[in-house]
Structure 1
Amino acid sequence: MTDCEWFDMTWGSSASSGYCSQSDSEHELEQFYTARTSLRKTKKRKDKDEPVDCRKQELSVAEIQQKVKEYNAQVNSNLFMVLNRDGSYTGFIKVQFKLARPVSLPPSRSTSSSSGWDCTEALQHRTSFYLPRDTVKHLHISSKTRAREVIEALLKKFTVVDNPAKFSLFERSERQNQVYLKKIPDDECPLFLRLCAGPNEKVLSLVLKENETGEVNWDAFSFPELKNFLRILQREEEDHVRQIVRRYASARDKMKEAMKNFSTPG
């Protein structure tokens, strides 16, 4: 049995819609700072709560046994890690999708078979849509499963036909009002990172994002797909406008209320 065969998928999506809001308020900068971060200069020091870089650790079998025991003691659900006799272990990881671009799905088998399309024509008639940004997937993997295998399994589960090389796993952590985002190498083992960090999602969470930073080639999409994207963007724009109107209306009401408290000079 290969490592790829270890995947046991369980649905963890919290959204039922096939669309998502591309809100800029949740975007993290890959320079490891958010908009909330102060850019003033501070002395370089190692904070006592700074997460340890798990990549630099080489754990013995006894240390792994201890960490698995400590990890399971902190888990409030049944998503425990299980230690094997050979020193390997299995467990669950949770991956959050934060994709800014649409993904492509193949045409249905009935449509493609009845139309007699070949592979090239099938790619041209594939369906594209936005995955919800709050989509979450739980994977049951082994300690030998690599990040690239996790990405391939996620795309396969959603029947996404895009090249897996377009995507990367990132480790995300929160510390002192700062959000840190670091790309996980393809040959890294996500379950080992999860074991070292513990089950706390603020210490470490896994995120799937696009690996490319170039512009979207809109000419590659069909006319119905482009119309669908326009409808999505229009709905998001309307929602954003309503949020701004409510925010300014609330601020105006507060200012009027504050003005009433000022006494008129006599």
Structure 2
Amino acid sequence: MSWTSTMSSGYSSWEEDSEEYFFTARTSLFKKPSVKPSHIKDVEKEKTCTQLTHEEIRQKVEQYNADSRDHFKMTLNPNGLYTGFIKVQLDLRRPITVKGGGARGVKDQEAFHLPRGSINTLHISSTNTVRQVIEALLNKFTLADNPAKFALFKRFSREDQVYTCKLSDKEHPLFLRLVAGPSTDVLSFVLKEQQTGEAMWEAFSIPELQNFLRFLDKEEQDQLCLITNRYNSYKEKLEEALRATGGPG
């Protein structure tokens, strides 16, 4: 396995089936509806239809390459496996921890926020699973975070609505890309934190937790300064108003 990295457009080469559906008016996410619309059921059919004959795969690869408007084509091997590219948008709200070289082989770690909305391109195989794609992204940025803290989602449009569906670890993203075609308007992939409602603190290392505390301390100090500045500004304006009206000052 080999990989190279850039922040926005590098690529990597890589040789529980529970779902969560959300729908939005292009932007915000909502809780999944109690009854899935019929077009979401169609997507479920796409997901379960993972067995294609060699001829069907060949036809889909040819059609995919014909429809593609960039150089990210798919390649079909004689054994029926195929390789291609997927683009993954990073939508991470919490800081991530990056490995760093230290003295005597000890690795230092530093936490920071990745720019939200960054797009990364991975070169993968039809055999690669969602879990392997997540691990590839973490390796690409030399992240020390536990892969279990992240989830890969697929985003697709139906009838002017944007739906987001969490993929299971064993699904194959390149197959979904092949079935949907090359257009990211039809299907795109997003990396997010696991949406469990609460942080999985047991999955974090001690240095990561310490980094979180430093972030929280800084945010607390920033909020205190903001509130103090607003209070002082309001106080000054009140005193000016009282002096202007001849009141006590």
- Asked if TM exceeds 0.5, the reply is yes
Query: Which residue, out of 68, 76, 81, partners 2:61?
Result: 68
Partners of 2:69 and 2:120 in 1: how far apart?
A: 18
1:59 aligns with 2:48: no
Amino acid at match of 1:213: G
**Which structure has greater strand proportion?**
2
Match of 1:32 in 2: 22
Partners of 1:62 and 1:152 in 2: how far apart?
A: 31
Map of 1:1-266 to 2, 5 A cutoff?
5=1, 8-9=3-4, 11=6, 13=8, 31-34=21-24, 46=38, 51=43, 53-57=45-49, 58-106=51-99, 108-109=100-101, 112-113=102-103, 126-211=109-194, 212-215=196-199, 220-222=209-211, 225-226=214-215, 230=219
Taking only the aligned residue pairs, the percentage that are identical comes to: 43
Q: Which runs of 5+ in 2 are unaligned?
A: 10-19, 227-249
Partners of 1:194 and 1:223 in 2: how far apart?
A: 36
TM score, norm. by length of structure 2: 0.68
Structure 1 residue 132, shift from structure 2 partner: 0.8
Residues 113-157 of structure 1 deviation map (CA, whole Å, 9 limit, x = unaligned): 1xx696xxx5xx621111111111101111111111111110011
Partner SS for 2:24: coil
Structure 1 residue 54, shift from structure 2 partner: 2.4
| Alpha carbons 1:13, 1:134 under 8 Å: kept | no
Partners of 2:111 and 2:139 in 1: how far apart?
A: 15
Instruction: Tell me how large the CA RMSD over aligned residues is.
Output: 3.6
Structure 1 residue 13, shift from structure 2 partner: 1.1
Q: Which runs of 5+ in 1 are unaligned?
A: 15-29, 238-266
Q: Number of residues paired by the alignment?
A: 202
Match of 2:240 in 1: none
Partners of 1:8 and 1:128 in 2: how far apart?
A: 22
| Alpha carbons 1:127, 1:225 under 8 Å: kept | no
